[in-house]
Amino acid sequence: NISSLVCSGSRSSKTFKPKKNIPEGSHQYELLKHAEATLGSGNLRMAVMLPDGEDLNEWVAVNTVDFFNQINMLYGTITDFCTEESCPVMSAGPKYEYHWADGTNIKKPIKCSAPKYIDYLMTWVQDQLDDETLFPSKIGVPFPKNFMSVAKTILKRLFRVYAHIYHQHFDPVIQLQEEAHLNTSFKHFIFFVQEFNLIDRRELAPLQELIEKLTSKDR
């Protein structure tokens, strides 16, 4: 059916945001390369630590962009399974439901389907990442005083996409043989937010058991 193909295709591409690139040759690009190299060693606890002499804001910025790209890609693989019909609410299991508000355009939290929520969320994150006053890409431009609180909000919201994928779409992840990729990405994310205390424990509750399982091997 060509028309449904066109519909689902356009919906997927809408939720699937363009990759956010860190400019080559910049210091942040060097940091990203450092992060990738240490990740290759397989020791995630070491990989998330602040490299010697580096600025914490910049390290958090580079990794936040990287997690956005990873989650964007992972969600992009399962958008066909995450529809208005299959996910009329944005949830992470029966106990956790998320309502969207961004504090500017939508002040009062609204109940919406998971694909709609994730589209709002990823668009909002992308807007923050593209804001040069929040995420300066040029050398010597200082990070704003509220940078950490913005980064914490971004990471808290990105966590919800992982939580939704794990709770509602794990079967397609297994069918697509993405399970190892998803687990590695999420484990890296969790070690990172734990290292710098970036997400409140309460927010992590929907995946608490999984977090304990993934991190217990690397104490």
CATH code of 193's domain: 1.20.140.30
Is the pLDDT score of 40 beyond 80? no
- Confirm or deny that 112 is annotated as ligand binding: no
Report, as an integer, the average pLDDT of 57-82: 95
Q: Is residue 90 part of a domain?
A: yes
Binned at pLDDT 50, 70 and 90, residue 33 comes out as confident
- Confirm or deny that 181 is annotated as ligand binding: no
- Confirm or deny that 7 is annotated as ligand binding: no
How far, CA to CA in Å, does 162 sit from each of 1, 90, 96, 135, 145? 31, 12, 13, 23, 28
Task: Tell me the residue range of the domain where 76 lies.
Answer: 27-216
Binned at pLDDT 50, 70 and 90, residue 147 comes out as very high
**Is the C-alpha dihedral spanning 156, 18, 126, 29 positive or negative?**
positive
Is the pLDDT score of 1 beyond 50? no
Report, as an integer, the average pLDDT of 47-61: 93
Say if CB 189 and CB 47 are below 8 A apart.
Answer: no
> If you average pLDDT over every residue of the chain, what do you get?
88
**Tally of structural domains, the chain:** 1
* C-alpha–C-alpha distance, residues 129 and 189, integer Å: 17
Q: Is residue 8 part of a domain?
A: no
In which region does residue 110 sit, left (phi positive, over 0), alpha (psi from -120 to 50) or beta (all else)?
beta
pLDDT at residue 2, rounded to an integer: 36
Q: Is residue 137 part of a domain?
A: yes
Q: Is residue 18 part of a domain?
A: no
Binned at pLDDT 50, 70 and 90, residue 5 comes out as very low
Phi, psi (5° rounding) for residue 60? Answer: -65, -40
Q: Is residue 19 part of a domain?
A: no
Q: Is residue 20 part of a domain?
A: no
How far, CA to CA in Å, does 158 sit from each of 3, 23, 51, 153? 32, 23, 24, 9
Q: Is residue 120 part of a domain?
A: yes
pLDDT at residue 218, rounded to an integer: 57
- Give the range among 45-49, 66-70, 154-158 with minimum mean pLDDT: 45-49
pLDDT at residue 60, rounded to an integer: 97
Q: Is residue 2 part of a domain?
A: no
Is the pLDDT score of 159 beyond 70? yes
